[in-house]
A and B are shown apart, each in its own frame.
Chain A
Amino acid sequence: EVQLVESGGGLVEPGRSLRLSCTTSGFTFGDYAMSWFRQAPGKGLEWVGFIRSKPYGGTTEEAASVKGRFTISRDDSKSIAYLQMNSLKTEDTAVYYCTRYSGVVPAARFDSWGQGTLVTVAS
């Protein structure tokens, strides 16, 4: 069974840093791209960033709203994806979800989601 479990959320002051982890199991992590999304309280979904699998360069993309502050990385030996969040702002308050991306066109899809971890940025 494919499982993704986010951790590392919590209450943090503006300007501080936090690192989220997405621990996975049930599939060959290194074969898949991973992505992070977030959802502010009572709001819709927003894409945060994406990391390709190593065979596709392991490169990353980030949304403009977090570019330069957030960094996505992966440790294929541990089957974990990370979201390093620096210079946090109050508007970064949200539930953060990690997802698996199955990228074979025409069947490309974000097919598995974690349960999410809440990040609250407040003083």
Chain B
Amino acid sequence: DIVLTQSPGTMSLSPGERATLSCRASQSVSSSYLAWYQQKPGQAPRLLIYGASSRATGIPDRFSGSGSGTDFTLTISRLEPEDFAVYYCQQYDSSPWTFGQGTKVEIK
């Protein structure tokens, strides 16, 4: 199974700051099958990024994804109040499809 390790586990930032979230895979993942999700308490995950760098419909351009192989990054250029949430990366290149354990972005 491909293990995805996200870091940091929690990051404390202020609105307006830049957030850089990391997702490292235990083996190479095709960029076509790497996604990022945002999840708020009591809500379903929301697709942000697919194909490592493509924004999903309706996602603001302050969210961007990059990376390849085993190292992927989600960047939020300027945090808005509604961006404080938990973020998960997911690979669906190799079954079983797996998620990282999540990064919580909290208000400092």
* Chain A interface residues (CB < 8 Å from chain B): 44-47, 50, 61, 63-64, 97, 105-111, 113-116
C-alpha gap A64/B1 in the complex (Å): 11
B39 CB, nearest partner CB in chain A, Å: 8
B91 CB, nearest partner CB in chain A, Å: 10
Contacts A106-B51, A109-B56, A110-B35 given; indicate if A47 touches B45 (C-beta within 8 A): no
* Chain B interface residues (CB < 8 Å from chain A): 31-33, 35, 37, 43-47, 50-51, 54, 56-57, 88, 90, 92, 95-102
Do A44 and B101 touch across chains, with their CB atoms under 8 A apart?
yes
- Report chain A residues within 8 Å CB of B100: 44
Do A113 and B32 touch across chains, with their CB atoms under 8 A apart?
no
Q: Find B102's partner among A44, A106, A108, A110 (CB 8 Å cutoff).
A: A44
B50 CB, nearest partner CB in chain A, Å: 4
- Report chain A residues within 8 Å CB of B99: 44-47
A44 CB, nearest partner CB in chain B, Å: 5
Number of A-B pairs, beta carbon distance below 8 Å:
55
Do A107 and B96 touch across chains, with their CB atoms under 8 A apart?
no
Select from chain A the residue with minimum beta-carbon distance to B99: A45
- Report chain A residues within 8 Å CB of B46: 113
C-alpha gap A94/B22 in the complex (Å): 26
A6 CB, nearest partner CB in chain B, Å: 10
C-alpha gap A120/B103 in the complex (Å): 26
Contacts A44-B101, A110-B47 given; indicate if A64 touches B96 (C-beta within 8 A): yes
Do B51 and A107 touch across chains, with their CB atoms under 8 A apart?
yes
C-alpha gap A47/B83 in the complex (Å): 25
C-alpha gap A106/B45 in the complex (Å): 21
C-alpha gap A110/B88 in the complex (Å): 13
